[in-house]
Structure 1
Amino acid sequence: MSPDSGPLPSQPPAGLGLAPFLQRCIQLLLLPIHLLACLGLWDSFYKKAFPYIMAKVAPIYNRKVYKQKQELFSNLRKFTGPSGQLTLLEIGTGTGTNFQFYPPGCRLTCTDPNPNFSKFLLKSLSENRHLQLDRWVVASGEDLRQIPDGSVDAVVCTLVLCSVPDVPKVLMEVLRVLRLGGAFYFLEHVAADHSSWTYFWQKVCDPVWKYFGDGCSLSRETQKELEKTNFSELNLRRIHVTPYWTPTSPHIIGYAVK
């Protein structure tokens, strides 16, 4: 994992007060989409289009974080349970871009609230025959009732907590399904330092990002939620994936143990 890069201003940007004004301007421009969303038409369209977008974007992102993911998942086998076979649950599997990093022979359960990802997920599985798919479940991260308590050795969640409606509820579900001593792996883009120009642009761009990023927020304080969750151990680092001033640059990466 690479360390933080790039200095952050120690004082709030002089133009920080412009953020609410610029947000309102953007919201006015987004009014037609907002109306479609109120009518339920935007979600219907975007849920079908989003998997195709991610099928193009996810490989580009994966190349940027390849080394970080490789290092992150390098100790997955350490959490293999008494069965002798690693059981892994991935929340928000999407197109399956993490499959290449999972150890051979692990038993995989995939979840995603969008059923339109299924054909992309199956394509990724066909390219990663070292994995064994146990189940594909259409479910949100807040409601994993189909997964029994304490039934998995590891849970993986990458670029998902930025878009879920209720982060604490997702993390409580993670704790529920993990066996004692199991681990939760995460890689998420998060809010920048509040005194930085990066945070300024995150707040300005948030309204657009929500609609075109499937509910994604650029300014989530995910680290704080992880720290408040009752994990016995939290291993977390902040990194920058793109130039530090870009809105999606600040990330957290690591794993937590139940």
Structure 2
Amino acid sequence: MSLFILTFQLILYLLAFPIYVLNFIGIWDKIIKKLFPALLFRLTEMYNKSMEGIKRDLFSNLSYFENASKEINLLEIGCGTGANFKFYPNGCKITCLDLNPNFQSYLSKSQTESDHLKFEGFVVASADNMTPVPDASMDVVVCTLLVCSVPNTPKVLDEVWRVLKPGGAFYFLEHVASTDDSTLVSYLQRILNPTWRLCLDGCDLRKTTWKDLEKAKFSELKLRHIQAPNVIKPITPHIVGYAIK
């Protein structure tokens, strides 16, 4: 079966050869950084239609983490196009963080449509190095479909733990590796992953993010494995839930 996987990986490599060349000479990263926000905007529109019920359920207890002022200081890391804003409760004070500043134009549209929220600012930083965000400053941190693209997941979780107030919560929704290596999804993930990562800004189909969450410093972890409805096969396996500092 490994020969089967390697054969199909080689076929994909040949089909994507021009992209590999552009990547080798240092051009592809610049192209994808400019094109990815527009591509992500279209993809998240389709994704959110299929995941709306799951997201609504995930964020249904956000108000439990209100601070003494009956507010929620919420940091969304890898905020992308602002697809999660409509699920947040009235009066939430949102700080958006993303490594790619090209998302800001798409965020502006989402912010205009989300007048039930208060926007505190946009921070250009990576999820594994959120230095501009002070220690213990957030009641809630949200991360959806981001960890797949960040090489050092434990460092991301350390940063989330650092910026959360004691008793604060980290909400997550991520596609992950299939837990059953004998399934069609697992074979697709292994075949596609090298070229998929190159074409989609480092997105890794084989991440075992739940293992990193289980090892992190959170005092409590509520995590479920689910099969996402109506999404393309390679990203069907997901984890969803929240962890408390």
Is 2:226 the counterpart of 1:242?
no
Q: Residues 91-240 of structure 1: matches in 2 within 5 Å? A: 91-192=77-178, 193-240=180-227
Count of aligned residue pairs for this structure pair: 244
Q: 2:22 aligns with which of 36, 41, 63?
A: 36
CA distance in 1 between counterparts of 2:50 and 2:171 reads 18
Which residue in 1 is equivalent to 2:33? 47
Is 2:57 the counterpart of 1:71?
yes
Q: Which runs of 5+ in 1 are unaligned?
A: 1-14
Q: Deviation of residue 55 (structure 1)?
A: 1.4
Q: Deviation of residue 194 (structure 1)?
A: 1.9
Sort the Cα spacing of 1:201 and 1:121 in 2 relative to 1 into closer, same or farther, 3 A: same
Is 2:45 the counterpart of 1:59?
yes
Which residue in 1 is equivalent to 2:243? 256
**What is the alpha-carbon root mean square deviation over aligned residues?**
1.5
Letter of the structure 1 residue corresponding to residue 88 of structure 2: Y
| Greater Cα offset, 206-215 or 116-125 | 206-215
CA distance in 2 between counterparts of 1:244 and 1:60 reads 9
SS of 1:162's equivalent in the other structure is helix
Scaled by the length of structure 2, the TM-score of the pair is 0.95
Q: Deviations over 1:195-245 (max 9, x none)?
A: 222111101011221122211011110111111111111101111113699
Q: Deviations over 1:104-148 (max 9, x none)?
A: 101110011111100100100000101111110111101100000
Question: What is the identity percentage for the equivalent residue pairs of Structure 1 and Structure 2?
Answer: 48
Letter of the structure 2 residue corresponding to residue 84 of structure 1: K
CA distance in 2 between counterparts of 1:174 and 1:23 reads 35
| Greater Cα offset, 215-224 or 203-212 | 203-212
SS of 1:141's equivalent in the other structure is coil
Contact 1:197 1:245 in 2 (8 A): no
CA distance in 2 between counterparts of 1:140 and 1:122 reads 20
Q: Deviation of residue 40 (structure 1)?
A: 1.7
CA distance in 2 between counterparts of 1:126 and 1:58 reads 18
Letter of the structure 1 residue corresponding to residue 72 of structure 2: L
SS of 2:7's equivalent in the other structure is helix
CA distance in 1 between counterparts of 2:32 and 2:185 reads 27
CA distance in 2 between counterparts of 1:117 and 1:110 reads 10
SS of 2:75's equivalent in the other structure is strand
Letter of the structure 2 residue corresponding to residue 164 of structure 1: V
Sort the Cα spacing of 1:137 and 1:243 in 2 relative to 1 into closer, same or farther, 3 A: closer
Which residue in 2 is equivalent to 1:12? none
CA distance in 1 between counterparts of 2:200 and 2:240 reads 20
CA distance in 2 between counterparts of 1:122 and 1:212 reads 26
Letter of the structure 2 residue corresponding to residue 18 of structure 1: F
Q: Deviation of residue 26 (structure 1)?
A: 2.0
Letter of the structure 2 residue corresponding to residue 216 of structure 1: C
CA distance in 2 between counterparts of 1:124 and 1:244 reads 23
SS of 2:147's equivalent in the other structure is coil
Q: Deviation of residue 30 (structure 1)?
A: 2.5
Q: Which runs of 5+ in 2 are unaligned?
A: none
Letter of the structure 2 residue corresponding to residue 188 of structure 1: E
CA distance in 2 between counterparts of 1:155 and 1:171 reads 10
The structure richer in helix per residue is 2
SS of 2:110's equivalent in the other structure is helix
